[in-house]
A and B are shown apart, each in its own frame.
Chain A
Amino acid sequence: MTSKISCARLILEDIRKRSWLTALSSVIFFLIIPVNTMLYLSSRSEELVRSSSRSSIAESLPGLLNGDNGYLFIILALLPILSAMTGFSYIHSREKMDFYHALPVRREKWFSSAYLAGLIILLVPYLICTSLAAAIGAASDIMSPEAAANCTLAAAGGILAMFVIYNSCVLAVMLTGRTATALLASLAVMVYPLLIVSNFTSLQATFFKTYSSGIVSFPEKLALHISPVSLFDALISDSAGGTLGALLLISTALVSVLLITGAVLLYRMYPSEAAGNTLPFPLAAPIAKVLICIPTAIFIASMTQELTLTSETLWLLPLSLFFAVLLCAVTEFIYHNDMKMLLKGWRSSLITIGGTALILCIFQFDLTGYDTYMPERGEIEAISFHPDSFSQYFSYPETVPYYTSELGYFVPAEYTDLLYELAENGIDNLKNGINAQDSYSDDFDSSRYAAVLLQYKLSGGNTVMRRYAVNIDKAENALRELLQSEDYRRDIFPIFHVDRSDVSDIYLTNLYGQEEAADLDKAQYNALLDAYEKDVLSVSADTLIDGTPVGELTLYLPDPYQADTAGEPMTISLPMLYIYSDYTNTLNLLEDYGCTLRSEIDPQEVESITFTLSSDSWQNGDYGELVSSLSDNATVTTYNEETRIETSDPEDISLILEYTEPYSAGIMGNTSFSSNYVDIWYRNGNTLGYATQAAGEFPPPVVSYMCVNPVFIDSVHLLLNRA
């Protein structure tokens, strides 16, 4: 008689066999999902009476269902591992394998039944518990149709996240012959693509002088979309945030199909004698060793260097080789469980060590020519331009994507050659030992060079990014050329990225504070922003590079990502909208509104001044003439290698102020820093003032060490009413 055993019966038997796991997952899910939800809602019971708060509480509900925050995240990762291990661990025991595989059931059916039983054990309790939590939410009157849809999405995200981890572990079980090794293999399967890519980017950042991490490369994107652990994280967070995208779902489906197919194929050919061995396929052992040990050794070496704060790249190679040797020994021990067999796989160990050395040499000596790479001119569709100083000079609304605001805007096509030449200058400087990576070091001559990030958009669709140290005069000239384009100005100046209807407040900041609040209507602030835009479009490049602002506008906008407890969006500021003396339209309008920006500090309004000198300046007598001119009322103290001269004498204050002026690093950040600075205490209660620059005959200038651009002492709340 032919045996026809239904898969369903086998599944039921498997669930029955693993009833303890069903009970465990049910209890854990029950405690962490519905019970936790109940406690959470109870803790916010006072807010539940307000309808405005209910929506914000409802927004947090999806996260409670899929572990976007809290212990559930860990549970959703651990339970699938446990389920996969218990479901398939029988292939790691000869007795069990003999028992099951002697029975008249095809291997595919055994696989399907154990696989599905494992999923049911996970998913049924999870679905019941999420439904219970949703019901609790509905009973608390926070469940709108939108919230219900978000909860469903979150639960789906949780299911998919568990699914990915489960599939990874099932494959890992098939790749091994022991449960302990299967756990290690699970880790390897889940993080391997990320490990490779993180090593790659880390080595690029370490060794390549023109590397910049701003852009997410295709391999990085790929790793994020094929690495089970990153998929798990993305599925949880995106589904909780209601942003579960099609790309993520497709990636999840593809990765899952790959993992399941791999697991089925391996299960079909899984040798019965493999039970108890580390790896079921001995021929794969040296390959697995090489593939795992090389990236892991480099990763651990990089981490060690990072943890010990060692910046010397010199140590990376010996450290990596040391860890490669260590990992080879550990792997051989895992393979054979015998200390005497550590050298058994000496060939693969040699390949591992050699491979590690080779990879590090490729990066160390830039054998691929990464740093000197320049795309062919004909290959380039567009180039972006972003000096480092832009990051300190501009501040963009949150709605502007990071990769454009921080990596620079692509310039109009007619300027491509201009930037290409600038890039060539950067490569020439690199060959002469001047690179942008050193731009934050003391040895970098910022009066001659500027760090500039360029992106090449290539005709093939790829974007390549390089960061060079270019001659500052060449960079300034390039900027002068670029600023002739209105389109480029509209791109780089943040004011053109502001949605005016979002602006809730505008503050004006000047040299020092006077609270001159003026209530303006919508038309007035629109007129102010119009005037500002007009000035920004017409201001000369020289003013932006060399000029000193006389004031700064700060706009207040809604935060697109955060809301307060009442569900209203939080506000965030958009500062650094500088006003120069050339901004006549803006200044005139401000004057019309009753806000006249001062250009000088009135000594009468200063209570006291502290003039701080570095030990070098003090010992060199850089300011000897100024110091000797001060009255006896000025007190001199030395603290932490700094000399502070404090005075409240009006004559001393006038004398110091006479030789100080506002300081600005400009749009190109081309002023050198000094550790000498001035703090000013005003009579009107404003506490601090600084960022002044000594004029004329007191070289070197007294400059603020704290900021590149002017920081003013107080703000005037200019616009309160929008309508």
Chain B
Amino acid sequence: MIELKDIDKTFSDIHAIDHISGTIHNGMIFGLIGSNGAGKSTLMRMISGIVKPDSGEILSDGKTVYENPEIKSQICFLADSPYFLPNADILRMRDYYAMIYPTFDRKRFDSLVRRFGLDSKRRISTLSKGMKKQVNILLGLCSGTKYLLCDETFDGLDPLVRQAVKSLFAAEIINRDFTPVISSHNLRELEDICDSIGLLHRGKLLLTKDLDQIKRNICKLQCVFRNSCREQKLIRSLHILKLERTGSLLTLTVRGERSEVLQLAQAEAPLFVEALPLTLEEIFISETEAAGYDIKDFLC
């Protein structure tokens, strides 16, 4: 389990991480989402022990990560722009990782390289960006570490490879104690694969919950009222994140279980009412808007 205890980090005048606390539980895929510059990469780099927090603690299985090789040997970080040794081919990188990570599975790596159709003797610098990412993911996956931190690693992969990687992750979770942490802007993708989500915004962790729980606790209510007093009464009774009106159609993004929200709405006798689940993208937009990050600001 990775615990973030009130961690804080400032770069010059940029407050990159603002007193974040949270937990990443073992055995599930954790998705880290957030607006640009929200601090996702910084948080990943802090969890992997690259960046030292100004204050607070990052614990992995109860021990500090920073400058702790014992703990870091359980964490593999795959950066958004992977670095490979100069003039190295895939085999050289395999050997290097095998030297660094004692749990590295060479056989599996070789097998996966073949399955992904990569030429193990080809210099990595000659590979395409997507192929480099594939190599990077395979290296991380075969390192045998408990935690695999993927910083926008899926971006740039073709759909087939993406699907294959998802399957690999799933298989890995079944086979061993494995917890991938994935940051991405592609929320649909995370929605498919992640068990829990952390939402970062301007260095703050807005929420960290199981994806199902998040989805259960937020919904979109569409309704039409004849009586505006009843409409106002409903609005007052709900925890609304977002309110939109198109003609007489009122669309509300509401915090709360779908069935409960629907029940409350029906109690006010609307002409029409419907409670819909939100996609992760819609949740992201709603939550960040609620935190003051409004897409309309960009359009003004």
Contacts and interface: CB of A to CB of B under 8 A. Distances in A.
Nearest to A10: B99
B100 interface: yes
Query: What does DSSP make chain B's interface, helix, strand, loop or mixed?
Result: loop
B67 A95 contact: no
Given A272-B45, A272-B51, A98 B73 contact: no
A104 B81 contact: no
B159 interface: no
B70 A17 contact: no
A107 B70 CA distance: 13
Contact of A3 (B67, B79, B102): B102
B50 A272 contact: yes
A97 B49 CA distance: 12
Point out which of A17, A93, A98, A106 has the most chain B C-beta atoms below 10 A from its C-beta.
A98
Interface string A94-125: 01111101111111000000000000000000
Contact of B100 (A3, A96, A271): A3
Given A98-B50, A101-B49, A3 B70 contact: yes
A273 B70 CA distance: 24
B247 interface: no
Contacts, number: 72
Nearest to A2: B70
A102 B48 contact: yes
Nearest to B102: A1
A98 B11 contact: no
Contacts of B77: 98, 102
Interface residues of B, number: 28
A352 B75 CA distance: 48
Contact of B12 (A2, A3, A104, A282): A282
A13 B99 contact: yes
Interface string B71-104: 1110111010111011000000000100111110
A4 B51 CA distance: 22
A106 B73 CA distance: 11
Interface in A1-51: 1-5, 9, 13, 17
Contacts of B50: 97-98, 101-102, 272
A103 B83 CA distance: 12
A96 B82 CA distance: 9
B79 A2 contact: no
Given A3-B100, A105-B100, A96 B70 contact: no
A273 B54 CA distance: 13
B13 to A, nearest CB: 10
Interface in B279-299: none
B69 interface: yes
A273 B51 contact: yes
A502 to B, nearest CB: 63
Contact of B45 (A4, A9, A98, A104): A98
A106 B96 contact: no
Nearest to B92: A16
B72 A104 contact: yes
B69 A105 contact: yes
Contact of A98 (B83, B99, B102): B83
A95 B72 contact: no
B12 A13 contact: no
Contact of B69 (A2, A9, A95, A99): A2
Contacts of A1: 73, 102-103
Given A3-B101, A104-B72, 9 more contacts: A2-B70, A3-B73, A5-B99, A95-B82, A97-B50, A98-B77, A102-B50, A272-B51, A282-B12
Interface of A: 1-5, 9, 13, 17, 93, 95-99, 101-107, 271-273, 282
13 contacts: A3-B100, A5-B100, A17-B85, A96-B83, A98-B50, A98-B79, A98-B83, A99-B79, A103-B72, A104-B71, A104-B72, A271-B51, A272-B45
Interface of B: 11-12, 45, 48-51, 67, 69-73, 75-77, 79, 81-83, 85-86, 96, 99-103
